[in-house]
Structure 1
Amino acid sequence: MTARILQQLNGQMLLKIINTLKDPIWINEKNGNVLWVNQAAYDYFSIGELVGKNVFEMEKQGLFSPSIARLVIEQKQFVSTTQITQNNDHVLVSGDYIQDENGEIQYIVTHGRQLSPAINQTKELEKIESILQLYKQQIRQLILQKNQQDEDFYVGKSKAAHYISEWAQKIADIDTTILLTGETGVGKTAFAYRIHQLSSRNNKPFIHLDCSAIPESLIESELFGYKKGAFTGANANGKIGLIATADQGTLLLDEIGEIPLHLQSKLLQFLQNKTYRMIGDNKVQQADVRIIAATNVNLMERVKEGTFRKDLFYRLNVVPMNIAPLRERKEDIIPLLNFYLSKFNKKYGRQHTLSKNLMDALYNYRWEGNIRELENLMERLVITSDGPKIDINNLPSDFPLQQSQQILLQNLEEVSLPIYLDQIEKSILIKTYNETNSTWKTAKQLGVSQSYIIRRLKKYNLKISDAKELVEE
């Protein structure tokens, strides 16, 4: 039926049908001369008469590149590629040939479809996507700044504080595992939450699990959950684990070094392929969770002891970050004191200020408990102090700095003022040097010259021991 209809159509009618197509159609001889083009080709190129021109010459003149007819002749096969016109338009062009009775190329037929609109739309979409990403980042920053009005562990002027802040922004959207290390109280939890706020997961759950606070027998069920009737004493309806709760969000595994050895392989499996099994269930579950681990112990030592898997350590340690203790970034102490004073004044409706003596004393305090100790002390002082100005005598009686002040006052009753002052200076020298292990750093921290420190070491008969500590000769 189809063949009979085509036989009834004459050549002119076929050309009229092809002319209705909106894509350019070319028919060329093998020497490149144009025999016929449809109306769409004229409309698209707008360069006058095309029939009789040579496509090879047109290619040399830069009207388009490459010539599909040339490629078909060279390769003697069907060709499809992108052609660029003199107006920098992109056209997807396909070409094939018709053979003569000897099997040689006689005619080349090419068909084009304009790509520029699609390319331009793609570019516009890319621009819009880029703008949206920028807006999303700015919104995250605004949310973070708002939250920081209530809580911020990284107020400070030290290089370490700036590095921590910049590092959080840099790794927030790198969706990989992070290992935070540092002493107790340096703010590992706050840093993990900061990363979560800056990431694309900020509108999803942030779950905090303290591995050291949960009995070993319960931590697996807390983490992975369990099915109904999984064990005696289990909830009759089963339990959803924290991994499922944190789906699409962030899970902080605090004190990761305390996780039981038998559970570490299951955690490693989840880190590798995001799959796990609930207790009492054979079904494999999936969850898209970003893991941030934190510890105040040396995990490599745990690996050597055999209590922590080496493969789990390396899987957690993809992006390591150590948070320095407060005593190593003393420039942050005063800003933090002022921050928490303001925070707790606002919380308890007070208007306290800190005396210079107290500020100086707290600046030189060692802060073994780091930021957490500082925060707790400031809250206590704001609550318990009566007068508008908080001074050294307002410190709790069990606070180490207060005890040292009382000892010095007792010594003052027994010795003369010059001897008393020498004792204080000697004590400060020993303490500061043993913190810095350098006479130059000691001088810088105390605001004096290095030669002054050397003279004082000789005056008080102090020497550097084999253990690199300052001791009396």
Structure 2
Amino acid sequence: MTAKALQQFDGQLLLKILNTLKDPIWINDKNGNVLWVNQAADDFFSIGDLKGQNVFEMEKKGLFSPSIARLVIEQKRFISTAQITQNNVHLLVSGDYIPDENGDIEYIITHARQLSQAINQSSELEKVESILQLYKQQIRELILQKTQQDEDFYVGKSKAAQSISVWFQKIADIDTTILLTGETGVGKTAFAYRIHQLSSRNKKPFIHLDCGAIPESLIESELFGYKKGAFTGANTTGKLGLIAAADQGTLFLDEIGEFPLHLQSKLLQFLQNKTFRMIGDNQVQQADVRIIAATNVNLVERVKEGTFRKDLFYRLNILPMKLPPLRERKEDIIPLLNFYLSKFNQKYGRQHTLSKNILDTLYNYRWEGNIRELENLIERLVITSPGPKLDINDLPSDFPLQQSQQKLPQIVEEVSLPFYLEQIEKSILIKTYNETNSTWKTAKKLGVSQSYIIRRLKKFNLRISEKELVEE
């Protein structure tokens, strides 16, 4: 239907019905030109004949702000927002478009409704905003309660856990890039997913890409996708990349420190402009995706080494958050043990409990693998132990008890000082190696050479067995 056809249709029943409505109705073409308005719109704005005028020009003149038709044209979707007229009248305005046969915009239909005079008063507006914020917070708390049992990282009452919980609630709806850092197993994936759940994107996809688990030759096609026939061996129909698949949602780039250097400029372009090109395609595409990145390596060091772009680091580091290791929030160890015990008891139909001895032992353990290591250990105990009470004897034979129970040898009258000092050195050597699982790291931590460590291992008859020092 053309503008001329609309004018001819002016006397028909539909337009008569629209003219009876007390709310302003507008019909615009794809360029923002006004084709028709109902009587309510003419009466409300009182600026002469609206037909033929352009909403972009009217917005520039300050007749209203923002133009709902302009937003629909730019975003090509249904829009509903508050609008203020030149007379400081607040309207609730909605707009949508009628597509042509190709799916492009042909006409834009907008509808406005005046808000009550009470809401127009600033005090009432503040009250409404306060109520909306309260509802928003209550909804978030309900989401937290509903998903708490599935979000393992946040079990616990330590100061670190509580401060992180407050932090992620604050930043969930701040639609910008987040960089999570921390050791392996501290819960970066769970943290990223929780941010997604509490954000306005929670109804859209959450997609996880482990940059360190995909071969460098494949990561570009996985992330950006490729067109039909882009390269030999490519899928004959092409492939949608994860960026496109995550449109309107969240893309979690885990182990971002392993992202190939030659592709970092392409990722940077997407972070800056939300645009990208598929492999084998010259057409620039857009995707509205929030990026959450995570790493367990020092990206500042990678920048110094030249393996990570400085500009990409700064673009990722807008909202940085370091997640503490489990040994730095020891108050959460017992709650986590009980949480996973309950979880796996239910999963495997068991009724195990934890003895005081094993609780003390596990509380003092360093948990180098953090929550992931704790979870795996409890699942193993629930499966393999006859029960019902789990004790130290139920721990796996490869569990390093010396980390939690090791004591220095006592001085007795028959023992010389050199022997006693050697026993202390041996104890420290075993403890440090079992923490680092590396003779080089052990030497670095103790401030000696690696060859010195090797010599002491021979002197004390120690050998490496399954990443642990044992006596011959």
**TM bucket normalised to smaller:** 0.5 to 0.7
3-state SS of the aligned residue for 1:234? coil
Q: Cα deviations across residues 349-374 of structure 1 (Å, max 9, x unaligned)?
A: 11100010000000111111011000
Q: Cα deviations across residues 286-317 of structure 1 (Å, max 9, x unaligned)?
A: 11111111000000111011100000000100
3-state SS of the aligned residue for 2:142? helix
Asked if 1 retains the 8 angstrom alpha-carbon contact of 2:168 and 2:195, the reply is: yes
Cα shift at 1:149 = 1.9
1:297 maps to 2:297: yes
The 5 A counterparts of 1:275-294 are: 275-294=275-294
Letter in 1 for 2:295: T
Cα shift at 1:178 = 0.7
Quote the Cα distance in structure 2 between the aligned partners of 1:361 and 1:143.
Answer: 35
3-state SS of the aligned residue for 2:153? coil
The 5 A counterparts of 1:269-418 are: 269-401=269-401
The 5 A counterparts of 1:65-464 are: 120=119, 131-132=131-132, 134-401=134-401
Aligned to 2:53: none
Gaps of 5+ in 2: 1-62, 64-85, 89-113, 414-419, 433-445, 449-472
3-state SS of the aligned residue for 1:153? helix
Quote the Cα distance in structure 1 between the aligned partners of 2:243 and 2:234.
Answer: 18
RMSD: 3.8
Structure number, greater radius of gyration: 1
Quote the Cα distance in structure 2 between the aligned partners of 1:354 and 1:284.
Answer: 58
* TM-aligned CA distance change 1:403 to 1:200, over 3 Å: closer
TM-score by length of 2: 0.61
Cα shift at 1:348 = 1.1
* TM-aligned CA distance change 1:403 to 1:152, over 3 Å: closer
Cα shift at 1:180 = 0.6
Asked if 2 retains the 8 angstrom alpha-carbon contact of 1:396 and 1:402, the reply is: no
* TM-aligned CA distance change 1:225 to 1:137, over 3 Å: farther
Quote the Cα distance in structure 2 between the aligned partners of 1:396 and 1:166.
Answer: 37
Quote the Cα distance in structure 2 between the aligned partners of 1:196 and 1:314.
Answer: 22
3-state SS of the aligned residue for 1:251? strand
Asked if 2 retains the 8 angstrom alpha-carbon contact of 1:144 and 1:197, the reply is: no
Asked if 2 retains the 8 angstrom alpha-carbon contact of 1:395 and 1:402, the reply is: no
Asked if 1 retains the 8 angstrom alpha-carbon contact of 2:253 and 2:292, the reply is: yes
Q: Cα deviations across residues 396-455 of structure 1 (Å, max 9, x unaligned)?
A: 1111127987x99xx99xx99xxxxx99xx89x979x99xxxxxxxxxxxxxxxxxxxxx
Quote the Cα distance in structure 1 between the aligned partners of 2:193 and 2:329.
Answer: 21
* TM-aligned CA distance change 1:466 to 1:295, over 3 Å: closer
Identical-pair percentage: 81
Quote the Cα distance in structure 2 between the aligned partners of 1:116 and 1:365.
Answer: 62
Cα shift at 1:189 = 0.8
Cα shift at 1:122 = 7.9
Asked if 2 retains the 8 angstrom alpha-carbon contact of 1:181 and 1:323, the reply is: yes
Quote the Cα distance in structure 1 between the aligned partners of 2:217 and 2:252.
Answer: 20
Aligned length: 321
Asked if 2 retains the 8 angstrom alpha-carbon contact of 1:277 and 1:283, the reply is: yes
Aligned to 1:43: none
TM-score by length of 1: 0.61
Q: Cα deviations across residues 30-76 of structure 1 (Å, max 9, x unaligned)?
A: xxxxxxxxxxxxxxxxxxxxxxxxxxxxxxxxxxxxxxxxxxxxxxx
3-state SS of the aligned residue for 1:157? coil
* TM-aligned CA distance change 1:378 to 1:348, over 3 Å: same
Asked if 2 retains the 8 angstrom alpha-carbon contact of 1:140 and 1:197, the reply is: no
Q: Cα deviations across residues 190-212 of structure 1 (Å, max 9, x unaligned)?
A: 11111111111111111111000
Quote the Cα distance in structure 2 between the aligned partners of 1:116 and 1:136.
Answer: 22
Cα shift at 1:347 = 1.2
Quote the Cα distance in structure 1 between the aligned partners of 2:349 and 2:303.
Answer: 50
Letter in 2 for 1:302: R
Letter in 2 for 1:322: K
Cα shift at 1:271 = 0.6
Cα shift at 1:141 = 2.7
The 5 A counterparts of 1:17-56 are: none
3-state SS of the aligned residue for 2:152? coil
Aligned to 2:97: none
Asked if 1 retains the 8 angstrom alpha-carbon contact of 2:362 and 2:404, the reply is: no
Asked if 1 retains the 8 angstrom alpha-carbon contact of 2:151 and 2:194, the reply is: no
3-state SS of the aligned residue for 2:248? coil
